[in-house]
Structure 1
Amino acid sequence: MRKTLLVALLFATPLFAACTENVRSGSDSGDARTIAVTSTDDGCEVSSSEAPSGSLTFDVTNDGSTVTEFYLFGEDGKRIVGEVENIGPGLSRQLVVAASAGTYVTACKPGMKGDGIRADFTVTKSDQEPTVSAGTDEQVDRALTRYEEYVREQSGQLVAKTKQFVALYERGDDAAARALYPAARTHWERIETVAESFGDLDPKTDAREADLEPGQKWTGWHRIEKDLWPPASGYRPLTTEQRAFYADDLLRNTETLDGRIQQLTYTVDQIANGSRGLMEEVAKGKVTGEEEIWSHTDLWDFQANVDGAHEGFEYLEPILAQKDPELLETLDDRFAALQKLLDAQRTDDGFVPYDQLSRDEVKQLANAVNALAEPLSELTAAVLS
């Protein structure tokens, strides 16, 4: 298993390099809607603290020594408007968002931990409000409606499956709980970028043990995962009372999440950025085998992230067919190539455990993720052009 994990980490790296090719230099563009961001180990330099409303491009460069992330939050500093993750040292990534007039917060997260290095950011009213084009209004409305329905339906299924899962876990039916675990999490993973946008709920439900901040209480899916697939030695199983606490806490937070999701509406850039973000999730935790470190059910999560990314892409296909048919064809081909590799790992009841994949199989998956992630990073700019 350790060998496979190291291989995955090695082959996941090109994804981050591949995503730098289409980044334009904010300092050279002369465009007030292109903002350069430089992240270091202890700083976050944003070239401007304001921009006119419309399609904004944040060109993010990591001049630090650790992997970083960049976020644009809403006025409350919690709601994620857009994000780019996993920016390795010396690399650059681009975030494109359609921003209306208002107050926002920018944040770099060196080491991908903590609240980030934050600053206020203002979007002023202009005559170039975010739009796609008059000729695609009907297509846009259809895409937004379908995406909204999809996310709400997946959230509802997540609540239903979580109820079943925690009931099995609380009564000690561990075999049934282990069987349901990856199937229930599929609904979370398909809408993971939406779920993560609620910064108060995500760490309570989906935090991995390796990512805990000092003093942070560990709750959620992966806390229960470790109890269902305990280490061979040195682990003390949870008591009946502790099981009830973690189960009830997971269900309560999941129901809170669903309540918020049912009220959400979306924009075209959020759909496109969501698809890109789901592939970043694949690279960050699924290809590396770090997401489901105890159960090794990473391929269920992998497939679910791809499902969600492809779903959003499908809703935008009619728009992209007008704007950039070549990009549409490329994305179709690369989604199909990745899906073929995933299908090869299917079993009668799901997928092969991730720690059983060979070095070559991990390399093929990582390369297919890289090949898809590069053109997918162009999707937002293409549909907003």
Structure 2
Amino acid sequence: MPLPRLGTRSVRLRTAPAVFVVLAVALAGTLLASTLGGPRHGRTTGAPSDHVVIDVSQSRCGHGWTRPEPGVRTFDLHNSSDGAAEVYLEDPGSQAVYGEVEGIGPGTTRQLTVRLGKGAYAFKCVPDDADAVTGPTVHITGGERGPGAAPVTEHDLIPPALAYQKWVGGGLDDVVRLTAKLKDAIDAGDLATARSAWLPAHLQYERLGAAYDAFGDVDAAINGTDAGLPGGVRDKDFAGFHRIEYGLWHGASAAGLRAPATALVKAVTGLRDSWSQTRMDPAQLGLRAHEILENTVQFELTGRSDYGSGSNLATARANLDGTREVLSRLRPLLTTRYTDLPGLEADVDRAGHTLDGFRHGARWTPLDRLSRAQREQTDAVLGDLVERLASVATLCDPRRTV
């Protein structure tokens, strides 16, 4: 089924900031393209002499580039049309993209900075409501060009999306099985066993992070928080794993947790049973690879999602597992587009090693028990990885070619 443009990860993420305003990020450790806010109207004033003003319109796309030279160059992309557009700087033969700017409003100017080298280049203007137009080809005879990437289409993303969706189906089977164990312990009045059973069930669900948008409203019933609820943790709509977590670690009785446990099992079972009829949006897969850990840094590493179990670092590790699963499905596309893919994979391993250092058998160190140095190291390792994953989201963002 179709998904919203930017998804959410449980109720607590519905206020999370958009991942991208302009898709222009560091690719393979080198600047692919940088975009700066240009003036609201007209052309850039006081621009350095090496800036080149490029027309963005259907009739004059790419016009204005009369002196092609190698090196780092900044283009002032001026939209002279009456509608919004996005612009790619590409090799017209291979269609490899060397820079892009999205959402250039009518009458406005945005900047694009790229490193140019030997080869052919052309600007492609892609209006919101019209066909794409490719401007004149420009040839540069010397220098080393920056990295480029072949565009990814939605068709390219269908096989990895289907493979990932099948994996999620198996994961939901495990969620149902583990959640049933949690419910059985609560029904038996054995809260010590229930506390032990809660974490494996919750972590298995957390590993499915890239699918949360496709889960729809049922995600709130499974993994929602009390954020935005008038009654907070006592609100009647506070449900799911975190509702049970709060009760288990705040002295609730087994009798008081039976109804939430029954509702949780019902929700995950219903989700599993309907999953085969659900269709994930392939275009969202690359974005999710970035979003899972971005949300981890925002919510797990700050303790905002802790309701008493002290298991945020375990959740962060499960989120990392989920990210790795997405990357494994995207790897065939990334191998030929992301030159520092081995470096990214090494960073994923490094993050896993860092988080595993806080595991002691079935127990994990709570966030408030970390030393300042441990907190800083964890934040830095996960934060750096989030920045790298932004490149994956950009590379796997389907581009219009016509």
Do the two structures share a fold, i.e. TM-score over 0.5?
A: yes
Give the match for residue 171 of structure 1: 188
1:271 paired with 2:285, answer: yes
Amino acid at match of 1:324: Y
1:227 paired with 2:247, answer: yes
Aligned with residue 263 of structure 2, among 249, 252, 255? 249
* Distance in 2 separating the partners of 1:341 and 1:285: 18
Give the match for residue 368 of structure 2: 355
Query: Does structure 1 retain, via aligned residues, the 8 Å contact 2:206–2:319?
Result: yes
* Distance in 1 separating the partners of 2:84 and 2:261: 44
Give the match for residue 308 of structure 2: 294
Describe the shift of the 1:26–1:190 C-alpha distance in structure 2 as closer, same or farther (beyond 3 A): farther
* Distance in 2 separating the partners of 1:31 and 1:286: 45
Give the match for residue 150 of structure 1: 167
1:214 paired with 2:254, answer: no
Q: CA deviation at 1:350?
A: 4.4
Amino acid at match of 1:227: G
Query: Does structure 2 retain, via aligned residues, the 8 Å contact 1:195–1:202?
Result: yes
1:186 paired with 2:200, answer: no
* Distance in 1 separating the partners of 2:218 and 2:131: 34
Give the match for residue 283 of structure 1: 297
Spell out, residue by residue over 1:134-173, the C-alpha distance to the aligned partner (whole angstroms, 9 max, x if none): 9x95xx5652343122111111111111111111112211
* TM-score normalised by structure 2 residue count: 0.60
Spell out, residue by residue over 1:187-209, the C-alpha distance to the aligned partner (whole angstroms, 9 max, x if none): 11111342244442222222223
1:323 paired with 2:340, answer: no
Spell out, residue by residue over 1:212-238, the C-alpha distance to the aligned partner (whole angstroms, 9 max, x if none): 3226521111111111111xxxx7x34
**Highest Rg: 1 or 2?**
2
Query: Does structure 2 retain, via aligned residues, the 8 Å contact 1:286–1:301?
Result: yes
Spell out, residue by residue over 1:298-351, the C-alpha distance to the aligned partner (whole angstroms, 9 max, x if none): 12211110001111112211211111222x133112212211201211212243
Give the match for residue 43 of structure 1: none
Describe the shift of the 1:288–1:20 C-alpha distance in structure 2 as closer, same or farther (beyond 3 A): farther
Q: CA deviation at 1:355?
A: 2.8
1:332 paired with 2:352, answer: no
Amino acid at match of 1:204: A
Instruction: Identify unmatched segments of 5+ residues in structure 2.
Output: 1-18, 26-33, 40-53, 59-81, 87-99, 105-127, 134-150
Describe the shift of the 1:224–1:21 C-alpha distance in structure 2 as closer, same or farther (beyond 3 A): same
Query: Does structure 2 retain, via aligned residues, the 8 Å contact 1:183–1:300?
Result: no
Query: Does structure 2 retain, via aligned residues, the 8 Å contact 1:269–1:380?
Result: no
Q: CA deviation at 1:374?
A: 0.7
1:345 paired with 2:361, answer: no
Give the match for residue 159 of structure 1: 176
Amino acid at match of 1:309: T
Q: CA deviation at 1:50?
A: 8.7
Spell out, residue by residue over 1:219-259, the C-alpha distance to the aligned partner (whole angstroms, 9 max, x if none): 111111111111xxxx7x3461x322211111111122223
Is the partner of 1:322 in helix, strand or coil? coil
Aligned-residue identity in percent = 22
Q: How does 1:58-73 map to 2 (within 5 A)?
A: none
1:203 paired with 2:220, answer: yes
Amino acid at match of 1:167: D
Amino acid at match of 1:228: L
Give the match for residue 328 of structure 2: 314
Describe the shift of the 1:172–1:220 C-alpha distance in structure 2 as closer, same or farther (beyond 3 A): same
Spell out, residue by residue over 1:85-122, the C-alpha distance to the aligned partner (whole angstroms, 9 max, x if none): xxxxxxxxxxxxxxxxxxxxxxxxxxxxxxxxxxxxxx
* Distance in 2 separating the partners of 1:335 and 1:282: 14
Spell out, residue by residue over 1:1-31, the C-alpha distance to the aligned partner (whole angstroms, 9 max, x if none): xxxxxxxxxxxxxxx99x9973746978959
Amino acid at match of 1:202: D
Instruction: Identify unmatched segments of 5+ residues in structure 1.
Output: 1-15, 33-47, 61-122
Describe the shift of the 1:324–1:31 C-alpha distance in structure 2 as closer, same or farther (beyond 3 A): farther
Amino acid at match of 1:225: E
Amino acid at match of 1:195: Y
How many aligned residue pairs are there? 280
Is the partner of 1:275 in helix, strand or coil? helix
* Distance in 1 separating the partners of 2:395 and 2:380: 24
Alignment RMSD: 3.9
Query: Does structure 1 retain, via aligned residues, the 8 Å contact 2:211–2:280?
Result: no
Q: CA deviation at 1:178?
A: 0.6
Describe the shift of the 1:124–1:205 C-alpha distance in structure 2 as closer, same or farther (beyond 3 A): farther
1:372 paired with 2:385, answer: yes
Is the partner of 2:195 in helix, strand or coil? helix
Describe the shift of the 1:357–1:200 C-alpha distance in structure 2 as closer, same or farther (beyond 3 A): same
* Distance in 2 separating the partners of 1:351 and 1:20: 37
* Distance in 1 separating the partners of 2:257 and 2:378: 36
* Distance in 2 separating the partners of 1:197 and 1:265: 7
Q: How does 1:4-153 map to 2 (within 5 A)?
A: 22=25, 24=35, 30=56, 132=152, 140=157, 142-153=159-170
* TM-score normalised by structure 1 residue count: 0.62
